Amino acid sequence: MKDYLNIALPKGRLGEKVYDLFEKAGFGCPAIRSPGRKLVFESEENRVRYFWVKPSDVPIYVERGAADLGVAGKDILLEYTPDVYELLDLGLGKCRLAVAGKKGARLHGDRTLRVATKFSHVAREYYASLGRDVDLIHLNGSIELAPLLGLSDVILDIVETGTTLKENDLEVRETVAPVSARLIANKASFAFKKREADRLLSALSDQLEETK
Ligand code: PRP
């Protein structure tokens, strides 16, 4: 329906926190709390439809207009650079993208640095900005293993509490970018559903202001 806002939420812990914020802002959808494996929920009262989406897929749904709005981590936005509007920093899911290596290890400047990461685009841009040539190794998870097994010299990954690094005898070398969850919008939807999107945007901003 034309006046419904279709919103892609990142499945998982961050998504639950994001939904709580939307609910407090007056965009609740009680059905979403019911257990089960359903992925689409709507509230006729609040004219919203929510989808649970794999976090890294949120920008795809929004960029292609399958969702009008979505919430994605800045890490995902930096990696996939979707053509969407970034409307608001929700201040949730705060962490950082960082380069880490084995504790105390000295890196030899005369050899090409081997960097293991899930964030290949971010890594390429980051090292290009430093004018440094690197050997990028794309992995899909458990990135911390790479330097331990000698697959790479460093990793570029998400660091939240730092526990994963610590428990694997790794340490942060450089911070690449701060990360938090962002509200994003499909460009055409933001024009066609401007009134509804603006209403959500200001309700979320007010809610964030209140909890500051
Ligand atoms: C992320 C990241 C680190 C960990 C950092 O992994 O890749 O492994 O969280 O958190 P910490 O600093 O609080 O220890 P995630 O759980 O997203 O899974 P992944 O292995 O698929 O990257």
Query: Residue 187 corresponds to which tokens in the numbers above?
Result: 């460009």
Instruction: Among 96, 144, 158, 166, name the best residue to mutate to test ligand 1's pocket (greatest count of ligand atoms within 8 A of Cβ).
Output: 158
Dump pLDDT digits (tens) for 96-119: 999 999 999 887 777 899 999 999
* pLDDT (average), residues 136-162: 97
Residue 174 three-state SS: strand
159 lines ligand 1 (CB under 6 A): yes
Band the pLDDT of 2: cuts 50, 70, 90. low
- pLDDT at 32 (0 to 100): 93
* 142 C-beta closer than 6 A to ligand 1: yes
The DSSP string of 153-165 is SEEEEEESSSHHH
pLDDT at 106: 83
156 C-alpha vs ligand 1 centroid, how far in Å? 11
Counting atoms of ligand 1 from 1, which one is nearest the CA of 140?
Answer: 21
Q: Is 34 in the pocket of ligand 1 (CB under 6 A)?
A: no
In the structure encoding, which two tokens stand for residue 157, read together? 């990954």
Structure tokens at 48: 């919203």
Of 30-34, 71-75, 141-145, 172-176, where does mean pLDDT reach its minimum? 30-34
Q: Are 145 and 65 in contact (CB under 8 A)?
A: no
Choose one of 56, 164, 171, 172 to mutate for the ligand 1 pocket test, by most ligand atoms within 8 angstroms of C-beta.
164
Nearest to 43 by CA among 150, 200, 165, 157: 200
Give the model confidence (pLDDT) of 62-85 as tens digits. Answer: 999 999 999 999 999 999 999 999
Q: Report the pLDDT averaged over residues 174-189.
A: 98
